[in-house]
Amino acid sequence: MKLYFTDPIKALYMMREFGVKVGFYEPNYDKKTTHKIKDGFITEIGDMFIEYSISELFEVISHSLNEGNDLKDCLMTDLYVKEESESIFLPKEGDYGMWSKLERPMTFRQRSKWKEFNNGGYFSDTAEIIMRDGKCFFTGEIENE
């Protein structure tokens, strides 16, 4: 499972506010594996993660917009979250989450008490964190491999 952003502005914001590291994957031809298959061989090429700094990503976005390109087209690929930053997206005490459009936003602790009060009721167990430490929080997308 990999986390990624399709919106470069949200990725840039998460880099600045929460220290998320983002970048893209590029083939690493030095990291090849060859496997024997029924009718021959197949070669797999490993991936190499290329990390953006905040200033590099800002420059790519600015240049693309100055050229008149659409924001979604300023990068050739989605921005993936570096594995070491994935823990930032786990719920923390005090985070505000949104479980469904029917419920109001609340902290994870408030929701636990609310769920107990309503005898469990029908609640989704997956939440999207929408605020942390009084700042907007963007979770991006999840790629299932």
For residue range 98-135, what is the model confidence (pLDDT) as tens digits? 766 556 666 666 665 555 544 444 445 566 788 899 99
Please report whether residue 7 resides in a domain.
Answer: yes
Please report whether residue 97 resides in a domain.
Answer: no
Please report whether residue 72 resides in a domain.
Answer: yes
Please report whether residue 129 resides in a domain.
Answer: no
Structural domain of 77: 2-90+134-143
- Answer yes or no: are the C-beta atoms of 105 and 94 closer than 8 Å: no
Domain count, the chain: 1
Q: Is the pLDDT of residue 1 over 60?
A: yes
Q: What is the 3-state secondary structure (H, E, C) of 22-52?
A: EEEEEEEEEEEEEEEECCEEEEEEEEEEEEC
Q: What is the pLDDT of residue 48?
A: 80
- Give pLDDT tens digits for 31-76: 666 656 666 665 565 678 889 999 999 998 888 888 888 777 777 7
Residue 28 has phi, psi (to 5 degrees) of -110, 100
Please report whether residue 107 resides in a domain.
Answer: no
pTM: 0.73
Please report whether residue 119 resides in a domain.
Answer: no
